[in-house]
């Protein structure tokens, strides 16, 4: 039987403020067994970019990454945010290692082709080296992954943290019984957007189709759940969408086959 | 017989400019066998700090690191400079991993006690985990170490790159036949400061004493050489002081027992 591995993806907001970061580090440290953290950092990047006189341009929530912006995200995601998390976890006895995709060639991507929009130095993930990650995790090391990859030609690329979490979970599903937890700003997928407590506990492919048909699930939640099902189809045991304060897995919405 | 390990320490100037970085990456990649790179990044830190409105205060060449400056060096050393080197080495087929002292708890330090000068968040190295580094190096991974450590209590600390190189070399001397190369702005230790070609090829402890007595070696070169002899005393096979463009080891000054 495969050993359990919990992959937690947490957005920028949580890791960028001292209070919420401190709580997250405590909660994440308390997760038993093998684990891996993927973090964002967009708010800090936007703030530092502004201080450096660089305007942040977003299209559909994605950052247009020109050469100057790439420097900022490399600094902020790979340095400031990542190392603060790593040092914080070490202080709690968690043997963390900060990684971008370039480190040990863990995630290689290709620069997104220019179509209607030129996203600039943004990477679409091509390959996750599961072997390197399994080797680290098996020795009790906890990878802390920044939303950065590389193209194998010397360039770092800005890469969506949800995508890194999803692709890493898929790549590790052969070696581990993987639970992928997406931290969300709500308690889970809500049946009624106005009612914070109307969390749908479990969504299967059949239920997903039904909820979409009924209009219960709509908008940006549809691609999020499609990505979750894609992870489950690729062998990830379950995906959980929940609050960062509930990563013990006892609440939230579980997406499974 | 121990296998050879080459540790190269390179200052900020070399790794911060595209041309010299490119040359360094080519030269470093060409070094045969096991290797490890330690880099600085002070010029970039000073520049980014200035752009962020943070004044860089230096005492005897050491940066006073207040809380805001710590954020800058964590970003610049751990993110911008480190990841550009790692991505550049990967492009040359060198399986680099960027590390600060916090990553896998590789280097733990203590915040420098306040005496006449309060250096702020500056770390004095207490322990280098040789086992972790040996494990990586033996698997063909090339550590690229940023001049940052941690205190084990959740804080990153700004740490002198020469010190990181020296302490890492000492810690690895039991496992490897270590050559430590300090890249320098001159061809080596000069017999005549006015003559760039008057490189002293070899300095032993006896010769060192003689040159100091004669006034041939003076000023800042004395502590640099004392540190080199301390590394040699601790088991490092030899220390080389040379130009970054000469890290093939065929020139420069060799410091040995």
User: What confidence tens digit (pLDDT) does each residue in B146-166 have?
Assistant: 999 999 999 999 999 999 999
Segments in chain B forming alpha helices (H): 12-16, 18-30, 42-51, 67-75, 82-91, 130-138, 161-172, 205-214, 221-233
| HEC-encoded secondary structure of B153-169 | CCCEEECCHHHHHHHHH
Chain B closest CA to A133's CA: distance in Å?
A: 13
Please tell me whether B42 is known to bind a ligand: yes
Which pLDDT tens digit goes with each residue over A201-219?
999 999 999 999 999 998 8
Please tell me whether B41 is known to bind a ligand: yes
Spatial neighbors of A254 by CB under 8 A, at least 6 apart, are A201, A202, A203, A238, A239, A240
Count chain A–chain B contacts defined by CB atoms under 8 A.
Answer: 122
Q: How confident is the model at residue B169 (pLDDT cuts 50, 70, 90)?
A: very high
CA angle B98, A139, B163 (to 5 degrees): 35
The predicted complex's ipTM stands at 0.95
* CB contact B83 to A (< 8 Å): yes
Q: B3-255 adopts what CATH topology?
A: Carbamate kinase (3.40.1160)
Which pLDDT tens digit goes with each residue over B229-253?
999 999 999 999 999 888 886 789 9
Residues in chain A: 257
How far is Cα B140 from Cα B130, in angstroms, rounded to an integer? 15
Domain spans, chain B: 3-255
Helix (H) or strand (E) holding A4: strand A3-10
Q: How confident is the model at residue A144 (pLDDT cuts 50, 70, 90)?
A: very high
How far is Cα A133 from Cα A87, in angstroms, rounded to an integer? 20
Query: Is the pLDDT reported for residue A249 higher than 80?
Result: no
**CATH code of the domain occupying A3-186:** 3.40.1160.10
Mean pLDDT of B193-221: 93
Chain B closest CA to A199's CA: distance in Å?
A: 35
Chosen for mutation from A70, A96, A104 (greatest number of chain B CBs closer than 10 Å) is: A104
Segments in B79-220 forming alpha helices (H): 82-91, 130-138, 161-172, 205-214
* Phi (first) and psi of residue A32, to 5 degrees: -75, 155
């Amino acid at each position: 039987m495969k050993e359990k591995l919990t992959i937690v993806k947490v957005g920028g907001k949580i890791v960028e403020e001292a209070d919420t970061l401190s709580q997250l580090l405590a909660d994440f440290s308390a997760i038993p067994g093998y684990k891996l953290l993927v973090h964002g950092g967009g708010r800090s990047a936007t703030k530092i970019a502004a201080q450096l006189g660089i305007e942040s341009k977003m299209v559909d929530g994605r950052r247009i990454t020109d050469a100057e912006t790439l420097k900022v995200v490399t600094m902020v995601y790979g340095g400031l945010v990542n190392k603060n998390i790593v040092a914080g976890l070490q202080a709690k006895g968690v043997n963390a290692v900060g990684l971008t995709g370039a480190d040990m060639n863990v995630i290689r991507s290709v620069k997104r082709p220019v179509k209607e929009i030129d996203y600039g130095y943004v990477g679409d993930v091509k390959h996750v080296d599961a072997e390197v990650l399994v080797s680290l995790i098996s020795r009790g090391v906890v990878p802390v992954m920044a939303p950065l990859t590389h193209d194998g030609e010397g360039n770092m690329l800005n890469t969506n943290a949800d995508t890194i979490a999803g692709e890493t979970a898929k790549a590790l599903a052969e070696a581990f019984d993987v639970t992928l937890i997406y931290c969300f700003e709500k308690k889970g997928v809500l049946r009624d957007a106005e009612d914070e407590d109307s969390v749908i506990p479990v969504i299967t492919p059949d239920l997903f189709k039904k909820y979409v048909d009924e209009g219960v699930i709509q908008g940006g939640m549809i691609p999020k759940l499609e990505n979750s099902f894609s992870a489950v189809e690729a062998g990830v045991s379950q995906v959980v969408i929940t609050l960062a304060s509930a990563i013990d897995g006892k609440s939230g919405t579980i997406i499974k086959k």
